[in-house]
Amino acid sequence: MVLVGLMGVGKTTIGRRLADRLGWAFRDSDHEVEEAAGRSVSEIFADFGEAAFRDGERRVIARLMDETGQAVIALGGGAFINTQTRALLKGRSLSVWLQADIDTLMERVSRRDTRPLLQTEDPRAVMERLLAERAPVYAEADIHVRSPDTTHDGAVQAILDAMAERVEAQG
């Protein structure tokens, strides 16, 4: 299962809790990219640019899909936007779009200065643009959950309920 959505929506926190509830492994693609590169996401962006980061991210996610059995994988905010990555994930995982309103996202991302795409004079404008650009692609996810409508544990339960509904509908 992969969790998709904008930065700050809670993919890592919800993903860890969901994996615990399911008894599955948890992986965070940003962390895995950092491990593979031996440097932080911010350093990769600064030294090589976003295109190089996205290429590495795509390769790491493909590796995770090959190496990982039952797992919850929290994807970086832009990972699902990549056509090749999305096609790979669609064929091999259940995707969950975690959604939140822009005010909630801004409050969460303002807690840390480690978001390379937000290193600008108007981070809110960047987040609004990203949401507008990415929402139609995130909408291709199998399940949609509004994370701020509830606690993180509530979001986990909403995902589990949606999974159960899918199984029941498939008969």
| Dihedral-angle region of residue 38 (phi above 0 means left; psi in -120 to 50 means alpha; beta otherwise) | left
Secondary structure class of 168 (helix, strand, coil):
helix
Any residues with CB less than 8 A from the CB of 139 and at least 6 apart, and which?
97
Residue 76 assigned to a binding site: no
Residue 8 assigned to a binding site: yes
Residue 146 assigned to a binding site: no
Residue 5 assigned to a binding site: no
Residue 11 assigned to a binding site: yes
Residue 90 assigned to a binding site: no
Residue 10 assigned to a binding site: yes
Residue 9 assigned to a binding site: yes
Dihedral over alpha carbons 157, 162, 167, 171 (to 10 degrees):
130
Question: Which residue is listed with tokens 């969950």?
Answer: 96
Asked whether 21 and 160 are in contact (CB, 8 A), the reply is yes
Bind-site residues for substrate: 30, 54, 77, 134
> Which residues are annotated as part of the binding site?
8-13, 30, 54, 77, 115, 134
Q: Which residues are annotated as a binding site for ATP?
A: 8-13, 115
Q: Binding site for Mg(2+): which residues?
A: 12
